[in-house]
Structures are given as structure tokens and as C-alpha cells.
Amino acid sequence: MSRLLIIGCGGVASVAVHKCCQNSEVFEEIMIASRTVSKCDALKEKLQPQTRTKITTAQVDADNTDELTALIRSYQPDAVLNVALPYQDLTIMDACLAAGTHYIDTANYEAENTDDPGWRAVYEERCKRLGFTAYFDYSWQWAYRERYEKAGLTALLGTGFDPGVTSVFTAYAAKHYFDEIHTIDILDCNGGDHGYPFATNFNPEINLREVSAPGSYWEDGKWVEVPPMSIHREYEFAGVGKKDMYLLHHEEIEALARNIPGVKRIRFFMTFGQSYLTHMKCLENVGMLSTAPVTFQGRQIVPIQFLKELLPDPASLGPRTVGKTNIGCIFTGIKEGREKKLYIYNICDHQECYREVQSQAVSYTTGVPAMIGAMLVLTGKWKKPGVFTTDEFDPDPYMDALNRWGLPWTVEEDPELVP
Ligand code: NDP
């Protein structure tokens, strides 16, 4: 019998829970535990009548390792799926170690308060040493490798779409199509329209911090950092059409640069419309994207958290969003002495996702891979002691599961390359 503890109950968690409930053979019991237990209860009430998976709920503060450890010890899950926020990665990893449980997440650790002097000293040393200034990186979680190895536990990091599926696509291309991969371009296109002048498709704080930061890419063994949104390209996406896209820093670049031998360049592009960029620039210019607390009418508030209150809840975008996403990777390299180009991508339709699980495609394309990662750990197909990203396992069972659980992919030979 397998039992999964799911932490967080936002947009991504909701999809992951729906998918676990469709897959009762593997997920016989799940517990949804989050800060606001009423959200967990509402999801249970909706899904319990339609599934054989036994659902329970709990309230937990995932910033508190002792509280988490006690919850894990009392529920005794086979694994914990963290779909709360990247801020909670380390406390949840600590609790899994303390309680002896496998750990799975969808995004790498990020500090909530980037003004904390202890965190900043480590961060600034890393910026100098590695040459990129993103607030998130794998070093914090890779540092758990030995402890997970010794405990005989698996930590599977970043099993969303990007990171997650994009790294599985890379492992699949390396296994079946290339002798050497030389370049990887990860393209994340959201052709969806929610009808609001401005809204983010997942947690606004995490999203806006990511896209307002400098871009960077990996080339010839080192990071190259560029000002935010300064590298622009146009690309014709299957199922969506022509879109503007911009180079961003993204976490899977770090893992792929380490794990794909001989790779010369890795870039990540995301599509944005002009209106989104204008809103974001304006919010940034007036200080609304700051994570540093300010005093307002006698109390401390964090501007970006206040902004999150004003923006539409990403979970509410589902019914209004129309159009498709197309996310995938373009590879170049060598096979049997010949140059080769390949594109692997998934197209996902916002309205189809909504009909199936009442969420838009951005939550769907993250929540489905979260369920798949948890399934592969629980069934032992992806289980080995240590801390790993999704490119470090056999990609085949994951690729099969994508086809089966709602994210079918296409392999295109000889695609148009990004200049
Ligand atoms: P949401 O903001 O919708 O949900 C976050 C959930 O975590 C909420 O239920 C929230 O509780 C809960 N939470 C936050 N803090 C705590 C805490 N201290 N204790 C307990 N619960 C807490 O975020 P999303 O669902 O959009 O994103 C979830 C994760 O998925 C994030 O880590 C995000 O970075 C990642 N992600 C990964 C992607 C990928 O492709 N790899 C793409 C998109 C997202 P409450 O309801 O009380 O606010």
C-alpha cells in the first residue's frame, strides 16, 4: 500500500491531487496538508466521492520543521510531495530526513527574505564564484546529498514541467537520439489569454521575482549573465503561432550543465506579451516587486506580498483562460558522426485542462509531472539514495507516463533553430 503526504494546496497542488486520485492503484492514500486547511478540506470534499484514493487533510506550517516532522511521523507516508513554495524546500527536506521519508518537489530552494544577512553572505559568494545572480540555485539542496545517501532516502528535485519534464526530454534525447548533445534551447510558450490586463499564471511572488531578474545562460563551461529581458527572439510555435520570447535564467540549466557531458550551450526562453512586460516594468519601477518589508500605517508589509493580494488568484484563471501552451527543448548535436537537430515538445490546451481538473494549463503542466515523479519514487522505478534532478534517472518510464497521464509529447526532426 502506498501513501503520499502532499504539502501545499494551491494551483499546482490541486492538479497533483486530482491526478493522484485518478491513479488510485498507486496512490491508495493521500494526505493534503497546508497552511489553510479549509482549502484542503474543500478539495477533499470535491474529490473523495469520485475516487478510491483515501484522502485525509491536516493543517501544517511548513516553515516549522518540528511541526512537519511530527505530522510525517504520525501519518507515516512513503514519500512527501512538496507543492508549497520554494521557501519551504529546506524545512521539508529536514523533516523528511528526521522522519525517514522520501522527498519530492517542483522548484529549487529560494530564500523568502533576501535581505537576511546570513543568506546574503552565502548568496554573494556564490554570485562571484559562479557568475549568475538568481536568488535560487541548487547548492542549498545538493548540500543534502550525503545525508540522504546515508539515510537511504531519495530526494527528487524539480519534477514540474520546467524544471522537470524539460530535463527528462533532455535525458530522453541523450539516450535515444544523440551521441553528443551540443546545444539545448528550452522554450516555454504560453499562448493562453485570461482576459485580465495583468495576472500571473502561478504564484505571483515566485513568478515576478523570476522574470524581473537578470537573464543568464550557460556557454563554454561558464555562465553569461545579461540584463533582464535583453535577449529577444521570435519563434513559430506549433499549435500556438508566432510569439515573442525572452531569455531568462532558469534552474534546470544549472543541473543540465553539470549532468550532460560535452554540452556547449544551454538557454531558456519564455514568451511574454508586450502588455505583461509594460505592467511588470511599471510595478518594478514603483517598488511593488520588492521583498524587503516596508512600514505602512504602523505595520510591516512586504510589497510583493501585498501585490499578490491585489492580483487575480492564479487558481481562479482556469475558467477564463483560452489557448494553448507549448513547452519543449530543441537539441543540436551529433549522432553516428552526423550533425542532428531535434525538438521535443508538449502542447497543452487551457480549456481541456479546465474541463478535466478545473485548472489552467500552467498548473496542469506542473501538477501532472509532480504526480508522475511521486509515482516513480513510490513504485521504486526512480528510487536511489541521494539528491537528484529528473535528468539523472531513466527517462523512459517518465516519458510513457506523460503520454498516459495527459501530457503527450511530439518528437520533431530537423526543427527551425533559435538564432
Ligand atoms: P500557490 O501559491 O498557488 O500555492 C502554494 C501553496 O502552498 C498554498 O496552498 C499555500 O497556502 C501553501 N503554503 C505556503 N506557505 C506555506 C507554509 N508555510 N506552510 C504550509 N503551506 C504553505 O503556488 P503554486 O501552486 O502556483 O506553486 C506551487 C509550487 O510549484 C511552487 O514551488 C512553484 O514554484 C512551483 N512551480 C513549478 C513549476 C515547474 O514547472 N517546475 C511551474 C509552476 C510552479 P495558502 O493556501 O495558505 O496560501
Cis bond before residue 303 (omega within 30° of 0)? no
Closest atom, ligand 1, to C-alpha of 202? 26
CA dist., res. 159 & res. 314, Å (int): 20
**Confidence class of residue 368 from pLDDT cuts 50, 70 and 90?**
very high
Residue-wise pLDDT for 326-337, tens only, equals: 999 999 999 999
Residue whose CA lies nearest to ligand 1 atom number 8: 10
Has this prediction a pTM greater than 0.75? yes
pLDDT of residue 114: 84
Probe target for ligand 1 pocket from 59, 106, 110, 389, with the most ligand atoms within 8 Å of CB: 106
Mean pLDDT for all residues in the chain = 95
Distance 207 CA to ligand 1 centre (A): 11
The binding-site residues of ligand 1, defined as CB within 6 angstroms of any ligand atom, are 8-13, 34-36, 39, 60-63, 83-86, 88, 106-107, 158, 160-164, 202-203, 206, 314-315, 366
**Residue 250 pLDDT > 90:** yes
Closest atom, ligand 1, to C-alpha of 158? 41
Residue whose CA lies nearest to ligand 1 atom number 39: 160
